[in-house]
Structure 1
Amino acid sequence: MRATVSEIVFDCADPAAQVRFWAGLLGGEPVDRSADWSYVDPPEFARLAFQRVPEGKAVKNRLHLDLEAGEVAAAAEAAVARGAERVGGLVQDEHGCFQVLRDPEGNEFCFVSG
């Protein structure tokens, strides 16, 4: 048997706000199925869903998304304007560069190039 990724689900406190943040980064129309569940279907990507949970995020993610961005610094600036937070500075080497960020609820993700 072979499985396929149906959706990636984030636990969060505010599904409606989270789905709008991620739809702003990746495209797609945010859908609020209920006060406890929202999702977006970004073009050429798995569905991202957001479910309300009572507890807050306590530690670093064990899994994060790397998002290809032609211009990492500009993509990071746009994400910060939407509510993201930079984690450290831009990392650059002979293979490309990346910037670690956190979404408005603290979930880590990276913009990458190269």
Structure 2
Amino acid sequence: MIGRIDEVVVDCAEPLVLARFWAGVLGGEAVERHPSWSFIDPPGWTRLAFQKVPEAKTAKNRLHLDVEVPDIAAATSQAEALGARRVGEIHHDDAGSYQVLLDPEGNEWCLVNS
């Protein structure tokens, strides 16, 4: 082993805006350490940080978060109220169900129920 995950960092245009959004999704408090760096410490998970970068998002994420919920439809409505955007409909397969969403800066993530 080389080390352990200290935090997961998301490049973005508005760190505090995304920290507040993800605090609403995962819990924890949005902390602005600097105008270019904010973070949350969601209960039961590692720190999720947001770093200001000059370039805009241009392609699909190579890594995304799956957030397990008991009711995908209800959680989707709650996420949309926080500023998420729905992509398509709920998908169902042998592994369970999931809904693809975009956060306020267009980063893909999923609500899942297995």
TM-score, normalised to structure 2's length?
0.96
Which ranges of structure 2 fall in alignment gaps of 5 or more residues?
none
Residue aligning to 2:34: 34
CA distance in 1, matches of 2:93, 2:66: 17
Residue aligning to 1:101: 101
Give the secondary-structure state (helix, strand or coil) at the position aligned to 1:75. helix
CA distance in 2, matches of 1:43, 1:78: 19
Query: What is the percent sequence identity of the aligned residues?
Result: 55
Residue aligning to 1:92: 92
TM-score, normalised to structure 1's length?
0.96
CA distance in 2, matches of 1:94, 1:50: 34
- Deviation, 1:2, is 3.5
Residue correspondence of structure 1 range 49-88 to structure 2 within 5 A: 49-88=49-88
The Cα offsets for residues 25-76 of structure 1, whole Å up to 9 and x where unpaired, read as 0000110001100000000011000010011000000000111011111111
Count of residues in correspondence between the two structures: 114
Aligned letter for 1:85?
A: R
CA distance in 1, matches of 2:92, 2:61: 22
4+ runs deviating over 6 angstroms: none
- Deviation, 1:93, is 3.0
Alpha-carbon RMSD across the aligned residues, in angstroms, is 0.9
Which ranges of structure 1 fall in alignment gaps of 5 or more residues?
none
